[in-house]
Amino acid sequence: MKFGVLGKSLPHTYSPQIHKAFADYEYTVLERTEEQVNALFNGAEGLDGFNVTIPYKKLAASLCTELSEEAKELGAVNTVVKTASGFKGYNTDVFGFKYMLERAGIDPAGKNCLILGTGGASVAVEYALKKMGAAKIEFCSRSGEINYENVYTVAQDAQVIVNTTPVGMFPEIENSPIDLAQFKNLYAAADIVYNPGRTKLLQQSQELGVKNAGGLSMLVAQAWQASEIFKGGRGTVVPEPVEGPQQDIISTVIETLQTQMLNITLIGMPGCGKTTLGKKLAKERGRTFVDLDDKFKEEYNVTPAQVITQKGEDEFRRMETQLAKKILPQSGLVIATGGGIVTRKENWFYLRANSHVIYLERPLSFLLKQDTSNRPLSQNNKIEELYKARVPLYEELCDEKWIATSLRSSQ
């Protein structure tokens, strides 16, 4: 059997990897122009079926000879399978979105919901929210009745906000479609974007202390149901919530993919052993190691110490942030950061966006013995003062803290 994923541009798709985890059929990437899509539905490429992603979900629905109940109501499909008369279309985004909310403990029943965007994914989200008992569902778009100019007044009562737009997606991760802080009754926020793992929208929801869900779980769950359809299994007749082996395999794939996508980013005081540990982790896990201080010299043809000495710390921090914006949004790296990167709040978003952040703690007594000849800040400021100022920042920012014991620092 031969399947694939159809889209206009799919340079970073994870669909082949996900489907390989669910089944052993052939699965390929199908980058096609709108004019070329018709050929797929005419059977010219001999496919048994395929998934459909933006911007072809509504077009695919119009080209199917048969639609499932959900796909017919939505007018959009993301999964099609070959039949005797052509292709039948399904929409597994509905199942994927419901799974995404349930996994995060988000219950929209009886709540006012606001959907950002009106594209193909938004109709599946609306359908799922209705099925889950949402009290009210409204849409916000650039030119809609509710738009990004009036949304804070017209939709002030929103309790669940869902982003179905590509705003905030890699590589343009600095953007967020909306300011969640303006919604005083906010209960939860969900973002179907899955790269980066923690979008600006999700990071803000975490800061506000509300429930949140990222798009990776939706991506994997909808792919599982699509795989069931491809294999001729239960298709859309899937028990909800998913339990038992099905729940286990979906969760396993989510966790495996998340681990693979996220960088391992090390923070901590100068001399704590970030470079030594980073090189070791990269070798053990088959990843590329990046030392931001080395990258700084490569990028600017000058060392951090030279910039600090000649132009001051503020200029160094500005240049460091520009480098952080370039490196940290990438995936699957092991990264050792400079000790003071946490002192600039702007860097926190980039550190958290696509990284599992580990604070490498080392006793102050050990740090006091380190050579500071190439560290002008450590020379100009007592290590004790830097330690006192930075440790609370490391601890607040990190996902995990490791205690360094036997490592010998090469920094």
H helical segments located in 286-361: 292-300, 304-311, 313-327, 346-353
Please tell me the distance from the alpha carbon of residue 328 to that of residue 12, in angstroms, as a whole number: 17
Strand, helix or coil for residue 271: coil
Structure tokens at 250: 């979906």
Pairing status of strand 79-83 against strand 86-90? antiparallel
Please tell me the distance from the alpha carbon of residue 328 to that of residue 347, in angstroms, as a whole number: 10
CA 121 distance to own-chain centroid: 17
Please tell me the distance from the alpha carbon of residue 351 to that of residue 396, in angstroms, as a whole number: 12
H helical segments located in 330-401: 346-353, 364-367, 376-380, 383-397
Please tell me the distance from the alpha carbon of residue 402 to that of residue 404, in angstroms, as a whole number: 6
345 assigned to active site: no
Strand, helix or coil for residue 238: coil
Structure tokens at 1: 């059997």
Pairing status of strand 112-116 against strand 136-140? parallel
Instruction: Taking the CA atoms of 103, 109, 112 and 115 in sequence, report the sign of the dihedral they define.
Output: positive
Residue written as tokens 């609370």? 392
End-to-end CA distance of the chain: 53
221 touches 95 (CB < 8 A): yes
Structure tokens at 377: 């800040």
Q: Single out the catalytic residue among 57, 88, 98, 274.
A: 57
Residue 23 host element (H or E): none
Q: Which residues are catalytic?
A: 57
